[in-house]
Structure 1
Amino acid sequence: MTKISNLTEGEILSPLLKFAMPVLLAMLLQVIYGAVDLIIVGQFGAATDVSAVATGSQVMMTITSIINGFAMGVTILIGQKIGQGRFKEAGNVVGSGICIFSVLAAIITAVMLIFAVPISRLMHAPVEAFDDTVLYVYICSAGTIFIIAYNVICGIFRGIGDSKTPLITVAIASVANIAGDVFLVAGFDMSVAGVAIATISAQAISVILSIVIIKKRGLPFEFSKSSIRFHKGITSQILKYGAPIALQDGLVNLSFLAITTIINSLGIIASAGVGVAEKLAGLIMLVPSAFAQSVSAFVAQNYGANKYTRAKKTLAYGISVSLCFGVVMAYFTFFHGNLISGIFSKDIAVINASWDYMKAYAIDVLMTSFMFSMTGFFNGCGKTTFVMFQGIFGAFCIRIPLSYIISKAAPASLFYIGLATPSSTFVQVIFCLVYFIIVSKEFKKEKYTKSGVYI
């Protein structure tokens, strides 16, 4: 049977690093998972193919971010129930989650299949790449059920403190995706269609493997078929925690879609270059993103156990480690970004466009080292409405307007357009610092333990 990891006792830094490392490796594999698609199509196709995959994958990333946001509701609630010692209710969280995401899968699949063409048109996909962009969205949308199932299962594992199992499943999925890309794109010259089919097939393999592992090990709390229903109270709590995160993540990704639309209007080279840069952004932001999830899972259990001081210490460690890695990534990206961009394309113009845009992410990674861990902390405390607010404000009040204004300058520099992202993050960090002070005061008002010792 899968064991519950108790994150409420003992040291903090060492267990946090042990928990974060599998999350980090899993996210790295997911970055590679998406990057390989662009690498293979870039080496065996043309700039139009790169543009189609880049634009189409941006659309699917937005859908995935919404799904992952809702899944965080499951992670947070399971962690809090475990922290409170309510193990039966943790099983009901899983059951309610399955019902919620089954409905969500049906809705998203239908919407994406119906509106694939209008969405691609709205994205201003270059004329030369338009049909392939639509094809990519169609194929990936048909496999939405696997994308949803994977994120929900990972959310359950993280909630019980198990970050290793998702690593195993995503590792196998990554190998399957690479094999599929090589077989279909390089071997059968299926280009964009081959990339999309390989992606969905790999997700399906990952889900099947996860289900097999769960059946073999079982869950560390009571769970049966009777648990799979909309439990009153628990369903609303999942939505209460998950919906703000999903809305925020979805709208933030929509802001990046809007920026992609702005970039697409600048031509095929800019479109392909920024598409490559966005894939590499996942690598640049890898450590801060991993600690956002890890801090959230850690804090959820400690918040549920009323160990507020321990929760705040977890945040401090998350920021410290993220910042150390952030400095290294910032230097390499700003001064040597062309080296990694060259992996994705053989077109010098595309490589230089990607590097130019990535320099802005070099600045952004320093600030996300603070922001991501802080939003993870707030999510773990169930303060997801604030996380939604700061994310939406940064995206729609700063990032999009600045990108648009700068894009109209002559000449339009991709680096200057990209600066809209760190500008947004800076304001969001200020919001987070102010809200952290407010939350800290709330903690101080909480009751003492029976022994009279503040926790």
Structure 2
Amino acid sequence: MNENNLTEGSIGKTLLLFAVPFLIANVLQSLYGAVDLFVVGKYCGAESVAAVATGTQVTMIVTSLVAGLTLGSTIIVGQYMGSRDYDYVKKIIGTTFTAFAVVALVLTAAMLLFERPLLTLMHTPAESFELTMQYVAICALGNIFICGYNSISAILRGCGDSKRPMMFIGLACVLNIILDFVLVKYFGMGVSGTALATVISQSVSMITAVVYLKKREFLFDFRPSSFRPYGAIVRKLAAVGIPISFQELMVRISFLYLTTVMNSCGVYAAAVVGISSRYDVFAMLSATSMSNALAAITAHNMGAKKPERARKSLWYGMTFALAASLLFWVWAQVSPESMIGVFSKDENVIAAGVPFFRSCSYDYIMVAIVFCLNGYLNGRQKIIWTMVSCSAGALLLRIPMVYYFGLHYANDLGMLGKIAPFVSGLMACYTLIYVLYEGRHDRARECAEH
């Protein structure tokens, strides 16, 4: 089994060696939506760009839900790997796979049943409505593969292995890029072609992962008898995964509401927010990757009774994430036109997008701090705090502000773009205060024990 020891050695080196494959895997996974948008923008019209942009917002909700739930597996597996209880880890793995097969079926049914009312609620432009319906429906059929891949990746990362998930998603990404061009450019399938390319590549990724691990000395044997859910483990996974997933859902809903407001401003504004969401993903990849890495490393070190090492990992991780996010912020300030031009050459889209990009890019910096703090707290299983914090930021701050500014500054995209960094800045402040407060109490307990 390819396991890394996350509780020994240089903290900075251990964190980077574990986090870099996370980052590469997330970059590759993000290329799905980006390549879809790029190919559609190159060979189709603005209505197709808006369809993929809006449809991606819907599919990202599902992906975020699954990623949040499976992160619970990473944390629980990491905790018991840290304490070297391998028999219990095997039970966690079997329970995870079985539970997420059920989750995949439920999510697929929900997407197919509710896509039309959801897209109507989002004020999807009439010109792109049916195309968006096609995109979401086809992507829904790939939920079983999304759940399968994310479950395998979460378990491997919980075991200390971040390299093999990177390999599996790399295969899927290459295949997705090839299929995008083949199906859209040569077969003329447009939006449907991009969605089909995504589903096929995800299926190949999951199946390859299962076959590969079965042939290697992996901790789990993939025998039918091993796919057994244990009630106590299901409850434990739910207690960690559901709050994380819920906070991801609240954040996604708040950004979905922003998309709704932008859609009501017309097809050009809808295209702008869609392109911006692609850059949000890439600019925040370092923060997302470091957050997930910190969750696993913190869980390992808390399981190994090394809380001080977990705390030091947080400050290293935040430094790395900020350094990477600053590069995208500088690009957005210096040349937002070139950023938008990668996905659309339409002069109206570029003109509408410049003020929005310049203002919303400050969120790249704020998010690097918030994500790392939340990853550390998740690894410590301070799940309720992160859930309440993120939900409050989304429901009590971001959505009301989008409503107000959308009502009074509907034509000022620059003003709308300021909302996300303002909210993230507030979240960074109160979460940092909580982490420092918890750290002081931890050190007091450690001194008392000694």
Same-fold call, TM cutoff 0.5: yes
Counterpart of 2:194?
195
**In the alignment, residue 233 of structure 1 is paired with which amino acid?**
A
Question: What is the CA-CA distance between 1:411 and the residue it aligns to?
Answer: 5.8
Contact kept, 8 Å, 1:273 with 1:352, in 2: the verdict is: no
Deviates more, 1:231-240 or 1:56-65: 231-240
Mapped to 2, the partners of 1:87 and 1:214 lie a distance apart of 17
Q: Does 1:65 align with 2:67?
A: no
Q: Encode CA deviations 1:56-115: one digit per residue, 9 max, x unaligned.
A: 110000111001000001000000001111111111111111121111111111111111
**In the alignment, residue 119 of structure 1 is paired with which amino acid?**
L
Cα gap change, 1:305/1:122 in structure 2, threshold over 3 Å: closer, same or farther?
Answer: same
Q: Encode CA deviations 1:245-264: one digit per residue, 9 max, x unaligned.
A: 00010111011111100110
Q: Encode CA deviations 1:401-448: one digit per residue, 9 max, x unaligned.
A: 111211222562212112111111111112211221332244235467
3-state SS of 2:4 partner = coil
Contact kept, 8 Å, 2:265 with 2:410, in 1: the verdict is: no
Question: What is the CA-CA distance between 1:223 and the residue it aligns to?
Answer: 7.1
Counterpart of 2:337?
338
**In the alignment, residue 85 of structure 1 is paired with which amino acid?**
R
Cα gap change, 1:410/1:111 in structure 2, threshold over 3 Å: closer, same or farther?
Answer: closer
**In the alignment, residue 304 of structure 1 is paired with which amino acid?**
G
Mapped to 2, the partners of 1:401 and 1:216 lie a distance apart of 52
Mapped to 2, the partners of 1:191 and 1:74 lie a distance apart of 37
Cα gap change, 1:447/1:137 in structure 2, threshold over 3 Å: closer, same or farther?
Answer: same
3-state SS of 2:231 partner = coil
Contact kept, 8 Å, 1:75 with 1:158, in 2: the verdict is: yes
Question: What is the CA-CA distance between 1:157 and the residue it aligns to?
Answer: 1.1
Mapped to 2, the partners of 1:369 and 1:267 lie a distance apart of 31
Contact kept, 8 Å, 1:300 with 1:380, in 2: the verdict is: yes
Counterpart of 2:238?
239
**In the alignment, residue 179 of structure 2 is paired with which amino acid?**
G
**In the alignment, residue 432 of structure 1 is paired with which amino acid?**
T
Mapped to 1, the partners of 2:101 and 2:407 lie a distance apart of 43
Counterpart of 1:32?
31
Structure 2, gaps ≥5 residues long: none
Runs of 4+ in 1 over 4 A off after TM superposition: 221-224, 445-449
Counterpart of 1:385?
384
Question: What is the CA-CA distance between 1:269 and the residue it aligns to?
Answer: 0.4
Question: What is the CA-CA distance between 1:19 and the residue it aligns to?
Answer: 1.0
Mapped to 1, the partners of 2:87 and 2:425 lie a distance apart of 42
Q: Does 1:375 align with 2:374?
A: yes
Cα gap change, 1:89/1:142 in structure 2, threshold over 3 Å: closer, same or farther?
Answer: same
Question: What is the CA-CA distance between 1:295 and the residue it aligns to?
Answer: 1.0
Mapped to 2, the partners of 1:220 and 1:230 lie a distance apart of 17
Q: Over aligned residue pairs, what C-alpha RMSD do you find? A: 1.6
Q: Encode CA deviations 1:364-388: one digit per residue, 9 max, x unaligned.
A: 1111221111101001111111111
Contact kept, 8 Å, 1:120 with 1:130, in 2: the verdict is: yes
Question: What is the CA-CA distance between 1:327 and the residue it aligns to?
Answer: 2.3
Mapped to 2, the partners of 1:15 and 1:181 lie a distance apart of 37
The share of aligned pairs that are identical, in percent, is 36
Structure 1, gaps ≥5 residues long: none
Mapped to 2, the partners of 1:445 and 1:338 lie a distance apart of 52
3-state SS of 1:115 partner = helix
Contact kept, 8 Å, 1:299 with 1:381, in 2: the verdict is: yes
3-state SS of 2:24 partner = helix
Deviates more, 1:437-446 or 1:394-403: 437-446
Deviates more, 1:142-151 or 1:56-65: 142-151
Alignment of 1:303-452 (within 5 A): 303-410=302-409, 412-444=411-443, 446=445
Cα gap change, 1:227/1:442 in structure 2, threshold over 3 Å: closer, same or farther?
Answer: farther
Cα gap change, 1:220/1:411 in structure 2, threshold over 3 Å: closer, same or farther?
Answer: closer
Contact kept, 8 Å, 1:277 with 1:355, in 2: the verdict is: no
Cα gap change, 1:201/1:221 in structure 2, threshold over 3 Å: closer, same or farther?
Answer: closer
